[in-house]
Structure 1
């Protein structure tokens, strides 16, 4: 319908858009639609993580797979709120670069330990590290939260 409007109004001259313009043009969802899909994707991620935790006693491979899939879905859900390009840029800002790298590394190492190397204990350790890295990454979006957590831990350990 948009193309028909452009043709009728004589604005068809700029037919070849760049990749960024095409993505931004295709992702013109309303705020309520973005919010609904965020909730659906985030809820699915939580459900996969819970299912993965329940599968721990049945199979470590399924546990690692579902737990990691849940974390990836929860991470991807934020793309609906701010858009994939902005999300990607914010992930690799200097303030959260290390947290992002550790989190992505833990996601990959969890899957490698469970599916490729077949090391059950190592997969569980990487899942714990994945949880901690995802938590640290998530609180990096809250102003002064990392400082408060660090101060709390240093106070408790002193």
Structure 2
């Protein structure tokens, strides 16, 4: 029946690709997308706050902080997938204007977790955690027109 509708309406008579069928079948309503965004973002914020609270645990505090902080940042970043969709989000993340910021941010996520779990270097993990914060902030302001230029000018004024 769908073929007949497409032919009668002047559209292509070809079958849609399997990817198009999956995208059509998995599309969410706007309210569901908004709920997913809020839930994922709230989980991210909660993980970050929990990580900060766990920083003061005597033996494994720094490991717990770095782990929960990184998971929180990844969850907060992933929450935008609900608003834009996964493919559009990935395309926008790797646009030429924010390509370097995306790579540095993802590298900081990875190096933070590697330094705490495989290299067992807590100092390095803390440094990567700070770098992660700045990389995520720089990536985030790339979505605001002229925000990067304003930040650069502000730092240039402060340093001179």
CA 1:136 to 1:23, structure 2 compared with 1: closer, same or farther past 3 Å?
farther
Residue 18 in structure 1 maps to residue 12 in structure 2: no
CA distance in 2, matches of 1:49, 1:23: 33
Specify which of 74, 78, 81 is matched with residue 80 of structure 2: 78
CA distance in 2, matches of 1:96, 1:36: 27
CA distance in 2, matches of 1:142, 1:68: 23
- When the two structures are superposed, what TM-score results if normalisation uses the length of structure 2? 0.86
1:36 deviation in Å? 1.2
- When the two structures are superposed, what TM-score results if normalisation uses the length of structure 1? 0.87
CA distance in 1, matches of 2:118, 2:29: 42
1:17 deviation in Å? 3.7
CA distance in 1, matches of 2:26, 2:143: 23
Ranges of 4+ aligned residues in structure 1 off by more than 4 Å:
13-16
1:63 deviation in Å? 1.2
User: May I ask how many residue pairs the two structures share in their alignment?
Assistant: 151
Residue matched to 1:133? 135
Residue matched to 1:32? 31
Residue matched to 2:157? 155
Residue 47 in structure 1 maps to residue 46 in structure 2: yes
Higher alpha-carbon deviation: 57-66 or 32-41 = 57-66
1:82 deviation in Å? 0.5
1:151 deviation in Å? 0.6
CA distance in 2, matches of 1:145, 1:34: 27
CA distance in 1, matches of 2:142, 2:81: 16
CA 1:71 to 1:22, structure 2 compared with 1: closer, same or farther past 3 Å?
farther
Cα-Cα RMSD:
2.1
Q: Which runs of 5+ in 2 are unaligned?
A: 7-12
Residue matched to 2:10? none
